[in-house]
Amino acid sequence: MPESVLREVEHEITISAPATDVYRLIAEVENWPRIFPPTIYVDHLERSGQEELIRIWATANGEAKNWTSRRLLDPEGLRITFRQQVSTPPVATMGGTWIIEPLSDTESRVRLLHDYTAVDDDPAGLAWIDEAVDRNSRSELAALKTNVELATASEELTFSFEDTIEVDGAAKDLYDFVNEAGLWSERLPHVATVRLTEDTPGLQTLEMDTRAKDGSTHTTKSYRVCLPSEKIAYKQTTLPALMNLHTGYWTFRETPAGTTASSQHTVVLRPENITAILGPEAGVAEATEYVRTALSTNSRATLGHAKAYAEARR
């Protein structure tokens, strides 16, 4: 049999930050949804020394995909090699290397190498991968540059919080309520309409129109990763004007007394829109309070209805 067609490509970018800082940001995969636009969620399956097996959910050419990848970390050489363990068609094999090179004490070059093959060497599949790798690599490197260079400013603009309730009910019932978001327009007063698709089990695209207190509605779109019956992680891709980023997760943990249900949010504000929306005197503190209140109000409403649903099923 002829050998598969192996494609090798390289992308690079120069970043105004020390190489060790850049390496650390790439090495910490739990932050990827905040750093890289295509990434929805990442978790660790295995960790041993400098080697780890991670599971990644991300969009490619507008489609949500997931795969597992083995990584070898080299903090001394400022290199991270990766190889997909289980790829998603049309990808047959995929691997590569992050290489961070110091240009000076305050500047570094990041090179992102990929090698890949397509299922059955299909030309259309290879073209799809070419486009996805090129688009995602450019997007990842540009986002990496932005996030590293604006790290100080982003700290002021980034905040996280969590709402938690105790429920006299089963984790599975709470999970089911949040997982079955297609029914939210019937179950949640603040949801006007909802469109849920799940072409791959556990990987959802959720679009909904949510009612605000003043009666207005706004449309949001999120990708959701559902891990029965413990966690639903999401990344919002259609954002309100005050947010540059919104990620979060729902968790359901059984206790001797019942279940602890939580809704966590991480937000990066969009500072250029603050005064236009909240008035000329408003700043980051006011925007933080406004966004947190809006998100928390909806989360607590959803948790409250999920609690009633779960407790009624005992």
pLDDT tens-digit map of 232-264: 999 999 999 999 889 999 999 999 999 999 999
pLDDT(152) > 60: no
Residue whose tokens read 């679009």: 207
Label residue 69 by pLDDT band (50, 70, 90): very high
Residues 263-275: tens digit of each pLDDT: 999 999 999 999 9
pLDDT(151) > 70: no
Q: List the beta bridge partners of residue 46.
A: 53
- Say how far apart CA 33 and CA 197 lie, in whole Å: 21
Task: Report angle CA 253, 257, 261 to the nearest 5 degrees.
Answer: 30
214-218: long-range pairs with CB below 8 Å, 24+: 217/192
CATH numbers and ranges of domains, the chain: 7-149 (3.30.530.20), 155-312 (3.30.530.20)
Q: Which two structure tokens, joined as six digits, stand for 253?
A: 């943990």
> Which helix (H) or strand (E) segment is 66 a member of?
strand 63-74
pLDDT(153) > 60: no
Label residue 34 by pLDDT band (50, 70, 90): confident
- Mean of the per-residue pLDDT values for the chain? 93
pLDDT(1) > 60: no
| DSSP letter (8 states) at residue 245 | E
Share of the chain above pLDDT 70, in %: 98
pLDDT(23) > 80: yes
pLDDT(214) > 80: no
Task: Report angle CA 306, 182, 202 to the nearest 5 degrees.
Answer: 90
Please give the pLDDT value at position 314: 85
Task: Report angle CA 273, 275, 278 to the nearest 5 degrees.
Answer: 100
Label residue 87 by pLDDT band (50, 70, 90): confident
Residue 43 DSSP SS3: strand
Average the pLDDT over 19-32 and give the result. 90
Q: List the beta bridge partners of residue 99.
A: 79, 111
- Is residue 222 within 8 A of residue 209, CB to CB? The reply is no
Q: How far apart are the first and last CA of the chain?
A: 59
Residue 122 DSSP SS3: coil
Q: What φ, ψ does residue 3 adopt, rounded to 5°?
A: -70, 150
Please give the pLDDT value at position 146: 86
